[in-house]
Amino acid sequence: MTLDQEFVDALARDFRSAPITAQDRVMLEYVEQITRDATRITPEHHDALREAGFDDRGILQITLIASWFNYINRVADALGVGRDG
């Protein structure tokens, strides 16, 4: 959590140009790919995460958390949660 609205805005605009660590950038690129099309995840994605300092347990945790958020958002969308009318 942060109270730095400028930082939040930078992330919302484009995480690639936001002031984050290289490790966070690699992680977010992986999460973005999971969100867009998880079938296109390759061993190279996992290698990039390892090179950024994540171990297999970290990669699993990132994958599970990103996948869970994708899942629960789709459930909410399908049920109309948060929509007016």
The number of residues making up the chain comes to 85
Sign of the dihedral through C-alpha 44, 67, 1, 9: positive
Nearest in space to 67 (alpha carbons), one of 37, 22, 23: 37
Q: 56: which 2 tokens?
A: 């297999």
- Residue 85: inside a domain, yes or no? no
30 — phi, psi (to 5°)?
Answer: -65, -45
Rounded to two decimals, the pTM is 0.86
- Residue 84: inside a domain, yes or no? no
Domain range for 16 is 5-79
pLDDT per position as a tens digit, 17-27: 999 999 999 99
pLDDT per position as a tens digit, 39-58: 999 999 999 999 999 999 99
The span from the CA of 30 to the CA of 53, in Å, is: 14
CATH number of 59's domain: 1.20.1290.10
